[in-house]
Structure formats: C-alpha cells, structure tokens
Amino acid sequence: MKILILGGGIGGLVASNLLSKRLGKKHEVTVVDRKTKYESTPSFPWLMMRWREPQQITRNLSHQLRGDIWSYGIFRQCIRV
Ligand SMILES: Cc1cc2nc3c(=O)[nH]c(=O)nc-3n(C[C@H](O)[C@H](O)[C@H](O)COP(=O)(O)OP(=O)(O)OC[C@H]3O[C@@H](n4cnc5c(N)ncnc54)[C@H](O)[C@@H]3O)c2cc1C
C-alpha cells in the first residue's frame, strides 16, 4: 500500500510516524512538504520575544520521520530518510 501525507507539520509527522510503525516496511508512507525543516509553531511566541533562536525551534524534517519514509520538499531534491 502507498500512503501520501500532505504536510509535514505536527499532524503529518504524527500520522506518518504512527502509520509507519504500525504498517511496517511492506507499506510506503510518503510525506510531502514545501519545506525541508519542521518548525514548532507553538514556539513562535518565544521567537518573537527573542527567548529562542530560530535554530532552537526548527529541526530537519528528515530527522523527525521514522524508517523508510520519503520527504519531498517541493521544488527541492527529495530526501531519503
Ligand atoms: C503560537 C501557537 C501556539 C500553539 N500552541 C498550541 C498548544 O499549546 N497545543 C496545541 O495542541 N496546539 C497549539 N497550537 C496549534 C498547533 O500548532 C496547530 O494546531 C498544529 O500545528 C496544526 O498541525 P497541522 O499538521 O494541521 O498543521 P501545521 O503544523 O501548520 O503543518 C502544515 C504543514 O503543511 C505544509 N504546507 C502547507 N501548505 C503547503 C503546500 N501548499 N505545499 C507543501 N506543503 C505545505 C507546511 O509547510 C507545514 O509543514 C499553537 C499554534 C500556535 C501558532
């Protein structure tokens, strides 16, 4: 089975990690996002207050995904996780 998840935000990451874990390697889970980095939206006010630096509230999307998931930044090269 091939599953496509649109958006690698909180919802997309949780869904892809859960599906990948439960379905196993027989199935392919693909996450599509326009960015290659995950940004923690609840942390944005800290950024505005300069309590955090951008690199403290962002992570490479590939590091947030399990196993054999592919992450495609639209207009960017795809990354094998
Ligand atoms: C300041 C703040 C504080 C918050 N605090 C909390 C909290 O305490 N508890 C809580 O439960 N929720 C909180 N939220 C809400 C929470 O952040 C959102 O509900 C959650 O991020 C929604 O998840 P999502 O996956 O639907 O969307 P997002 O996390 O926004 O992810 C959407 C993803 O889709 C991608 N995308 C969008 N359009 C396209 C496109 N056209 N092409 C390619 N990619 C695209 C984006 O790049 C993004 O990565 C807070 C939000 C904010 C702003």
Spell out a b/e string for 59-71, using b for 16 or more CB atoms within 10 Å of the CB, else e.
Answer: eebbebbeeebeb
Q: Which atom of ligand 1 is nearest to the CA of 39?
A: 49
Q: Which domain holds residue 34?
A: 2-80
Ligand 1 mean position to 81 CA, how many Å? Answer: 22
**Could you tell me the CATH number of the domain that includes residue 9?**
3.50.50.60
Enter the pTM of the model.
0.81
Query: Residue 62 — φ and ψ, nearest 5°?
Result: -60, -30
Beta strands in the chain (DSSP E): 2-6, 28-33, 37-39, 58-60, 70-73, 78-80
Q: How confident is the model at residue 10 (pLDDT cuts 50, 70, 90)?
A: confident
CB 81 within 8 A of CB 70: yes
Find the 26 Cα to ligand 1 centroid distance in Å: 29
Please compute the mean of the pLDDT values over residues 27-50 and round it to a whole number: 87
Give Cα 36 to chain centroid, integer Å. 8
Q: How many domains does the chain have?
A: 1
Q: Out of 5, 37, 41, 49, give the residue to mutate to test ligand 1, the one with the largest number of ligand atoms within 8 Å of its CB.
A: 41
